[in-house]
Amino acid sequence: MTAKFLSLTDSEYAIFISQLKQANERLNAFNFIDENKKSGKIISVKDNICVKGMPATASSKILQGYMPGFNATAVQRLENSGFSVIGKTNMDEFGFGSFGLNSEHPAKNPFNEEYVAGGSSSGSAVATALIKEHVSIAESTGGSISAPAAFCGVVGLTPTYGAISRYGLIDYASSLDKIGFIGKSADNLRDVMEKTVGSDPKDTTSLSNVISNKNPHKLYVIDNLVENIDESIKDRFEDLLAKLSAKDYEIEHVNVDYLEYSVPAYYILSMSEASTNLAKYQGFKYGFKVKDFSLNYNEFFMSARKQFGKEAKRRVILGTFIRSKSIKQRYYEKALAIRHAIIARMKKFLNDGFIIMPSMPIFTPKISEVSDISPVEAYSMDMLTVPPNLCGFPHMSFPYFYEKGMPLGAQIITDHFNDYSLLDFLSEWESGFKYKFKEEIG
């Protein structure tokens, strides 16, 4: 098969935009839709990635009105290859969230509007589920691609850290952020990956390593991670393993030390970096402007930073505390050590196989149910997506089952710079699995 992307005539485009706007009123997939006719293949872009001439708000009031005059490198490379951006997708503010609800108008699940879409790339997953032959450019810090892809029944590809330039990305945590893709087919995901991968002089963290596709036929299951998930999810996952075993994959159950510390280590590091990155929003330069210059120093900055949402404020406060001189050694430096220890232990298995696990530890929750979850409980929902993100390993969530009309996703992880092997695996899986995409538009 070859990659196929939606491309419309003038008359088709007008109908498409009308349908998209109607769907968006219900599902809040987009923060901005460009109604001007687009030539070429249509993609969407998460609202924390800059597109010239389109708002870039990261779903935050503090960035309302910010209009970048340049493209992110990933966007520019795709535009150079004949792609056009249809709009900017909804997300948790600055990427802070697992359910997609930390936004002024939270995205809703395309399979059932009572359910969450997942976060933080909620809008990208919803847009991909809705639009035929679509890929959305997204971003992951601790699971922001895998979680919404799993809940919305699409495929989320998170590349190796540094494989794709982060130039033009509105930072959350610089050592963790990765631009990636949400799509529906291995061919489409491979096409956009090939066109965006590679080093960039504008981003010193981007790497020039050649992406490979070393295809192991061994699957490792990390028992000390999977044992903590919902029992019904475990049962469905065992069914998946049986299917893969029938396809001649060798399954081996293992334990990996220190993974119980991956979530606290991740949040210590990500909050520390977030508090630094968000310090630049002072009411002067980006988005929201403080116009009353008679205010004293504290009042001026407080009036700007009141625009942050509740979760953003929480992470800035905690991150600033963690970075303080008296606390840094106790928490931050230990988190760095744990990160390196987990990388070494996971690499032992990724040298000759994939690691496979469910993408999320629970079934897709209803929006009404999430309001009863405490912040600590919400952070623990990332227990399966955090390890590969913390370590910068490429990983992919793909749909493998439908329970009462709602999709389930499984996550497969490979070694650094072996990204294309994930898409080879997906191609094989697609040949025998019947997807139920919500292709309503186009």
pLDDT digits (tens, 9 = 90+) for 42-66: 999 999 999 999 999 999 999 999 9
Distance of CA 426 to the CA centre of its chain: 18
Structure tokens at 157: 């590809």
Residue 96 belongs to domain with CATH number: 3.90.1300.10
- Cβ-based neighbours of 283, under 8 Å, separated by 6 or more: 289, 290, 300, 301, 303, 304, 305
Fill in the DSSP letter of residue 155: E
Print the domain residue range for 231: 1-442
pLDDT tens, position by position, 204-263: 999 987 888 888 899 999 999 999 899 999 999 999 999 999 999 999 999 999 999 999
Provide the residue type at 340 as one letter.
H
Residues with catalytic function: 46, 120, 144
Cα–Cα distance, 329 to 322 (Å, whole number): 9
Number of domains in the chain: 1
Rounded average pLDDT over 176-202: 97
Reported pTM? 0.96
- Give the chain's length: 442
